Amino acid sequence: MRNIFLIVFTLFLAFQVADLKAQGKPKIIQFSGLVVSGDSSYGIPSVHIYIPKSGRGTTSNFLGYFSMPTLEGDTVAIRAVGYREKTFTIPKNIKDDKWSLIISLSEDTLSLPDVEVLPWPTEQIFKEAFIALRLPEQDMNNMNENLNDQVMKRMMYNMGADGNMNHKYYMNQQVNKQEQRFFAPTISLLNPFAWSKFIKSVKKGGLKEQWKESDGDDGSKDRK
């Protein structure tokens, strides 16, 4: 009877030691997941996933996916620039030795106070520099010459038609073509609308520009 008790006691101790050894070695878990931004389904690249206790970790790829081996009970930290940090604890008694998550990070907006950078250390030095300031006269003279009435008028007369004027001219041509499609061509000398356009063109200086262009062409031919 005593021998049977010793055998049972020895087996009980053996099972207890085996259980303690099994508990002393945590199981390896393959932790994987996808890191996304808020409610969006787009992944965040280059997110740091690491275990602070052991110093091991990895980073997510350009799609936001990651995979790394961990141990049961490890605390995993997820950090990314511009997002709030999150931590997870690897649960125990996982059947498939695999654990996957979709991790959503919220944006972390930090407002910094305004910083004024001035070239003068004190207000008094700024006042003295402002009073002693002398504006360059040559720049003022150039500004007055460029804003002269004659110069502005010359620029206005030499300015070509812009997109709005070209579109308006094209639309007027199309309307005239549609209105006169069932009529015989008329002589412009007897058309009052043509005379009206001609008078407006003369008032705007269009005839002078055409005369200068034709005069330049004739002068070049005479020189040859």
**What one-character-per-residue DSSP string does 177-199 give?**
HHHTTTS----GGG-HHHHHHHH
Residues 37 and 101 in one domain: yes
Verify that 41 and 100 share a domain, yes or no. Answer: yes
Among 6-15, 60-69, 121-130, which is the least confidently predicted range? 6-15
In a domain, 187, yes or no: no
**42 in a domain, yes or no?**
yes
| Locus of tokens 């085996």 | 18
Q: Are residues 30 and 89 in the same domain?
A: yes
Pair 95, 32 in one domain:
yes
In a domain, 69, yes or no: yes
Which two three-digit tokens encode residue 198?
A: 């001609």
Whether residue 11 lies inside any domain: the answer is no
pLDDT at 75: 92
What is the number of structural domains in the chain? 2
Q: Are residues 98 and 164 in the same domain?
A: no
Please name every residue paired with 96 in a beta bridge, in sequence order, or none if there are none: none
Mean pLDDT of the chain: 78
Percentage of the chain lying above the pLDDT 70 cut? 77
Residues 92 and 32 in one domain: yes
pTM of this structure: 0.41
Residue 186 has pLDDT above 60, yes or no: yes
Residue 20: its pLDDT value, please?
44
Structural domain span for residue 79: 26-105
Same domain, 40 and 99: yes
Q: Which residue has the higher pLDDT, 178 or 184?
A: 178
How far apart, in whole angstroms, are the C-alpha atoms of residue 45 and residue 105?
12
Q: Give the residue from 62, 54, 66 showing the smallest Cα distance to 30.
A: 66
Looking at 24-38, 87-101, 204-218, which range is the least confident one?
204-218
Give pLDDT, residue 76. Answer: 94
- Mean pLDDT calculated for residue range 100-116: 85
